Structures are given as C-alpha cells and as structure tokens.
Amino acid sequence: MLTLAVGAVARWFGAVSGSGLVAGLFVGTTVSVGLGAPGLGIVGGFFVLGTVATRWRLKEKKRRGLAEPGGGARGAGRVLAKGAVGTLLALAALHPHFDPLLSRAAFVGAFAAAAADTVGTEVGQILGRRPVRLLPPGRAEPGTEGAVSFQGTLAALLAAAAVAAIALPAQLALLRSLPWIALGGLGGSLVESLLAPVLRRVPHRGLAGNLVTTAAGAALAAAGVAAFGTVAR
C-alpha cells in the first residue's frame, strides 16, 4: 500500500509517466519483499532527490535545451534502468548463498550511485563553470554527455551521502560504513563518465549508462565496506 500511495503521488506531480508508475510499483514491491520498509526508504530517498534536482530551475534548463524530455517525468525504461540493479540486490539479501551484509551495502550503493548521477548532472549543467571530459581529457560544453564539473561532482557526492545516510536509521548500515557507500555511489557516477565514449556507440545508451552507473556503485560500495567497514546485520 505504501508503494502504491507514493506512486500515486509521484504520478499526480508528474514525476513519472504512466509506464513509469507501473515500473516504479514493480521496483518498490520487489524491494519491499527483499528488504521491507528500510529498503523502500532508500528507494524513496533516491526518488525525492532525483525529482527535486530534475525540477530545480527547470525553466532555465528548457530554455537552454538541457531539460529532460517530458519535464523530467520518468518512463518505464528510466525507472527500470535506475532501479534494476538495486532491485536484484534486494532479492539477493534473501538468498543464503549471498552475504547479506555485503548485499545490503551494494543495494544502498546502487541507489546512491543513481542519486549521484541524477543530481550531479542536473546541478552541474546549471552551476558547472568549467565542465571537462574525462576521456579523452578536454573542455566540454555544459550538458555534454559524460562531462563533469567541480560543482556537479560535489552535488553528486552530497546526494550519494544523503542516500547512504538513510541506511543508518533504516538499519542497513553502520556509521563507519557510510563513507564507503557514499564514495562507492560517487564512483559509480564517475565510471559512467569515464565510459562515455564507449556508451555513445551502444543502443539506448542512456539506459545502458544508468545500468553501468548503478552496477559500478553497488560493486564499489560493497568492496569499500568489505575492506574498511562493516554493514549492519
């Protein structure tokens, strides 16, 4: 019921399309099966951050040709591309052959990376003063695919940290694990920027980029926690 209520509100405010609502209900329901309300808290945190960032200075983005299609209303493809990795990891937490401690870190890391990617892009294309390409290195125009800026990267880190912080009261992570999850989320967003020259040649590159981002965020977060932190049981 909670997933349905949140989905209805999101649809009412135009944050998702009709297909996006259906996909969001699938993601939310599946995550709740694996991790219950704490998992939904992580998904909700990502959704709120992404929606606020997308709507922030939307008129200016439209004027400059930088706004997301449909005013930021997410369709099924975008919802699933952002949430698929985290959804699978939520289910993995139930499987006895997967370490539940690391699967939870990876789950949070996937959504931290999704938030970092969305917020970093939305903030960076407006506030970024000197965006650059990572590969090949060089200056880039605001809104260039794969470009990063100091302002956008800082916003991405803060977004990843915010999602990671939700894991503490949700009992999905301990305090000493949060920095590694946040850094994993930021790292996932930067991996997509590094691979931008390759992803441009892939069909549906935007969706592929989201999958790469969240998978990398999950892997980096789990690796960091395994090496330096401990996730809550």
| 113 within a domain of the structure (yes/no) | yes
Segments forming the whole domain that contains residue 59: 2-228
Burial 165-197 (b: 16+ CB within 10 A, else e): bbbeebebbbeebbebbbbbbbbbbbbbbbbbe
CA distances from 29 to 89, 163, 167, 178 (A): 14, 19, 18, 25
Judge whether 153 lies within some domain. Answer: yes
Q: In the chain, pLDDT over 70 holds for what percent of residues? A: 89
The answer to whether residue 40 is domain-embedded is: yes
Kindly report, residue by residue over 140-186, the tens digit of the pLDDT: 887 788 889 999 999 999 999 999 999 999 889 988 899 999 999 99
Task: Tell me, yes or no, whether 194 lies in a domain.
Answer: yes
Q: Give the DSSP H or E segment for 148.
A: strand 147-148
Asked whether residue 233 is assigned to any structural domain, the reply reads: no
3-state secondary structure of 188: helix
Q: Which of 190, 213, 198, 199 is nearest to 78 (CA)?
A: 213
Residue 204 lies in a domain: yes
Nearest to 50 by CA among 222, 210, 228: 210
Does the pLDDT value for residue 232 go beyond 50?
A: no
214 burial (CB, 10 Å; 0-12 / 13-18 / 19+) is buried
Listed range (96-100, 180-184, 186-190) with the worst mean pLDDT: 96-100
The listed range with the strongest mean pLDDT (42-46, 145-149, 216-220) is: 216-220
pLDDT at 225 over 90: yes
The residue to which tokens 């259906």 are assigned: 22
Q: pTM for the whole thing? A: 0.92
How do residues 58-88 score in pLDDT, each as one tens digit? 888 888 887 776 666 777 888 999 999 999 9
Give Cα 232 to chain centroid, integer Å. Answer: 22
Total domains present in the chain: 1
Judge whether 20 lies within some domain: yes
